[in-house]
């Protein structure tokens, strides 16, 4: 049995920033970071746009950023949280700069601030179009040098262990699958921090990597944590359409902020029919407008038109996007770029307070898996990395104050799991995943949602998955699929509840 003071599940910006800050402040604490694949396989690594931070107090202000965030959230943001996050942003940014994270500057040596949909001012700090990768690399470099942090890659958490006394549930550890030796093990921890990202892989079209299967949601829900607002899944309007399977390559919001237009099959702009901000409307508005246009035209994608832009400046600003398009035979200087809305961000999730504390004692959730109240029903572009930084800071400060309260119990009951086995059942579960993705996508995008029918179909899929593991063995594909089932049911249940209350 392993033992640590702090167990962090996930290795994106939230988990790494929390680990770094906590390890620096409390070198006496042991910290384990556990991730189901390699540490770099995260949504953070794929983030292109950057971080929204008010740095120019002459043209911009905290109040403007707060207003933009509240407007994007459709009236469902927590105003206190919005105020806290945006006012902390400059300090958290400085911490990234101090560890070597680089952000672009203009010829005058000033921040080259980008403009994205829903923002009233240029305020996006970026590293070309690979901002997340820049941050992830710098954080990992620091983490790997810290003696009180152990990074365990290819270790997938299966479930949390909890104890309930006097009607209060406390998280005491986690069961995990060690891929190298095909075995299930247990780790005790005084504090557990979920930084597991979202659930984009529940949908047919998504920008999320294959690992985004709602693991944190599922294990938190099974442990009894409160999950809220799962009816709010954000679709990014401009994922590159190639006709191939997900994940789809993202064409950053910043491309439209740079001046690109969205046009239909006839080469005509249409967004102003739906919102006076046109290409710079919020993601929900642009995605909705594209979907309506596709319904009218019968086509399966629209286009980004970059042909009128300064091509040298475009290639310099977006080298990753330019290179990826070129590899597919698409040249932005002369070709239209086919795009389609795709599931991108989970705005709801595990309910937490301003310190990232869940409804279970000693269990925290940070980043996309958490519902902090910052985003409301629709996240403002480039607020996600910022949220991860601020809540990692908040959680770290809170853990420092409270971790001494927890003492390991002398006895622990560990349930018996079936034998772990790295079986060759990948293809069977890939078929089941595609069925589930089709089902969830159809339900979520339909105007008339039949929740009862969706519930039954999902349960049928789960029953069939269970039948594939009747040899009493647990496999990684089965664990992931079970988590996807749990996350799907949460979405459908909360969509139905919201519809019944007429708030969705």
How far apart (Å, rounded) are the C-alpha atoms in residues 319 and 312?
10
Look at the block and give the residue holding tokens 């299967």.
213
Helix or strand run (H / E) with residue 312? helix 311-317
**Residues 6+ positions from 20 with CB-CB distance below 8 Å:** 99, 139, 142, 143, 146
Structure tokens at 423: 């079986």
Helix or strand run (H / E) with residue 150? strand 149-153
In three state form, how does the secondary structure of 23-37 look? HHHCCCCCEEEEECC
What φ, ψ does residue 454 adopt, rounded to 5°?
-65, -45
Q: Are 35 and 11 spatial neighbours (Cβ–Cβ below 8 Å)? A: yes
Nearest to 75 by CA among 453, 345, 373: 373
Q: Which listed residue (92, 283, 371, 379) is catalytic?
A: 283
Calculate ∠ Cα 400-406-412, nearest 5°: 140
Confirm whether 26 is a catalytic residue: no
Between the alpha carbon of residue 267 and those of residues 282, 286, 307, 310, 465, the distances in Å are 22, 17, 12, 19, 46
How far apart (Å, rounded) are the C-alpha atoms in residues 83 and 63?
9
**Residues 6+ positions from 218 with CB-CB distance below 8 Å:** 482, 483, 484, 486, 487
Nearest to 21 by CA among 308, 350, 347, 391: 391
How far apart (Å, rounded) are the C-alpha atoms in residues 40 and 46?
10
If DSSP codes are grouped into helix, strand and coil, which group holds residue 267?
Answer: coil
Q: Which long-range contacts (CB under 8 A, 24 or more apart) does 402-405 make?
A: 403/5, 403/6, 403/26, 403/29, 403/190, 403/191
Look at the block and give the residue holding tokens 């294990």.
219
Catalytic residues: 283
């Amino acid at each position: 049995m392993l033992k640590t003071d702090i167990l962090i599940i996930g290795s994106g910006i939230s988990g790494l920033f929390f680990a770094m800050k906590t390890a620096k402040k409390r070198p006496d604490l042991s910290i384990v970071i556990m991730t189901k694949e390699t540490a770099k396989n995260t949504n953070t690594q794929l983030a292109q746009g950057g971080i929204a931070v008010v740095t120019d107090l002459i043209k911009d202000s905290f109040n403007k950023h707060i207003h933009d965030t509240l407007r994007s959230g459709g009236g469902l943001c927590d105003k206190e949280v919005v105020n806290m996050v945006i006012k902390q942003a400059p300090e958290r940014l400085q911490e990234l700069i101090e560890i070597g994270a680089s952000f672009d500057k203009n010829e005058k040596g000033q921040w080259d601030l980008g403009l994205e949909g829903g923002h009233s001012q240029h305020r996006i700090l970026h590293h070309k179009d690979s901002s997340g990768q820049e941050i992830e690399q710098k954080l990992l470099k620091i983490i790997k040098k810290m003696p009180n942090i152990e990074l365990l890659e290819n270790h997938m958490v299966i479930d949390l262990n909890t104890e309930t006394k006097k009607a209060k549930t406390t998280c005491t550890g986690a069961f995990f699958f060690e891929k190298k030796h095909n075995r299930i093990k247990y780790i005790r921890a005084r504090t557990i921090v979920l930084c597991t990202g979202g659930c984009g892989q529940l949908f047919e079209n998504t920008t999320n990597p294959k690992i985004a299967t709602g693991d944190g949601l599922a294990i938190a829900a099974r442990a009894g944590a409160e999950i809220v607002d799962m009816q709010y899944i954000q679709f990014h309007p401009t994922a590159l359409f190639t006709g191939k399977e997900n994940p789809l390559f993202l064409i950053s919001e910043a491309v439209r902020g740079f001046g690109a237009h969205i046009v239909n099959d006839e080469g005509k702009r249409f967004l102003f029919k739906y919102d006076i901000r046109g290409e710079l409307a919020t993601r929900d508005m642009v995605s909705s407008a594209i979907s309506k246009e596709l319904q009218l035209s019968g086509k399966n994608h629209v286009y980004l038109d970059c042909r009128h832009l300064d091509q040298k400046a475009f290639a310099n600003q977006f080298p990753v996007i330019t290179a990826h398009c070129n590899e597919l035979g698409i040249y932005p200087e002369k070709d239209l770029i086919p795009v389609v809305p795709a599931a991108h961000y989970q705005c709801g999730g595990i309910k937490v307070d301003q310190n990232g504390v869940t409804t279970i004692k000693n269990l925290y959730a940070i980043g996309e898996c958490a519902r902090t109240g910052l985003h409301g029903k629709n996240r403002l572009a480039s607020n996600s990395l910022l949220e991860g930084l601020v809540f990692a800071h908040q959680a770290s400060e809170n853990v420092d104050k409270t971790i001494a309260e927890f003492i390991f119990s002398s006895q622990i009951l560990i349930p018996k799991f079936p034998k772990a086995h790295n079986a060759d059942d990948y293809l069977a579960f890939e078929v089941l995943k595609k069925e589930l993705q089709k089902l969830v996508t159809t339900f979520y995008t339909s105007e008339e949602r039949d929740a009862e029918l969706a519930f039954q179909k999902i349960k049928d899929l789960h029953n069939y998955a269970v039948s594939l593991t009747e040899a009493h063995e647990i496999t990684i594909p089965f664990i992931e699929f079970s988590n996807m089932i749990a996350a799907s049911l949460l979405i459908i249940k909360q969509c139905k509840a919201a519809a019944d209350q007429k708030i969705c």
